[in-house]
Amino acid sequence: MSRIGKSPIKVPAGVTVTVNGNTVEAQGKVGKSSYTLPERVFIEREDNVIFVKPKSTEKDVRMIWGTAQRRVQTMISSVDQGATVTLELVGVGYRASVQGSKLVLQLGYSHDVEYPIPQGVVIKCDKPTSISITGPSKQQVGQIAAEIRSYRLPEPYKGKGVIRAGEFVIRKEGKKK
């Protein structure tokens, strides 16, 4: 049995959860999100508590059961509180700014990199070297952060690049005489 799958999901006040067949939709103060459950699991609802249950006891069903439970739980919590990822720009001359509906990045290239900001997602640059991405879906926010990070991955010798806050970049030793 899945220990994660067995745990109940509590729906916080202010969040409405709608179940239509295998599709779960959640709407809260931050926004709206939906997730389609795999066919091998189903949802039971009792007042403000949701249970994800398997349709059989096969091994592959039990594996997807815990994953589906966590996806629904993450969706409900991100719709309520929002999901946030912070990126840091490390390098001389590396800067970011929000201009209208675009994020403009100066990453040491001969041109500026412009990233269009999707609907429902808020990108802020409190400092020129810090980017904060907030949205109603943890998956969408993580995908945007990965796309921005891919413009200049951290390199191991000087540590320059776009780095997630709290990430540790393994440094290599340079040339020796």
Distance between CA atoms of residues 88 and 57, nearest Å = 45
- Token pair, residue 127, equals 């400092």
Distance between CA atoms of residues 154 and 89, nearest Å = 9
User: Is the fold of 3-81 the same as that of 83-164?
Assistant: yes
Task: Domain 83-164: give its CATH architecture.
Answer: Alpha-Beta Complex (3.90)
Topology classification of domain 3-81: Outer Surface Protein A; domain 3 (3.90.930)
Judge whether 38 and 97 are in contact, CB under 8 Å: no
pTM for the full model?
0.85
Distance between CA atoms of residues 143 and 141, nearest Å = 5
What's the 3-state SS for 104-138? EEECCCCCCEEEECCCCCEEECCCCCEEEEEECCH
Which ranges of the chain have pLDDT less than 70?
A: 1-2
Sorted by where each begins, the domain ranges of the chain are: 3-81, 83-164
pLDDT of 3: 81
Distance between CA atoms of residues 41 and 23, nearest Å = 11
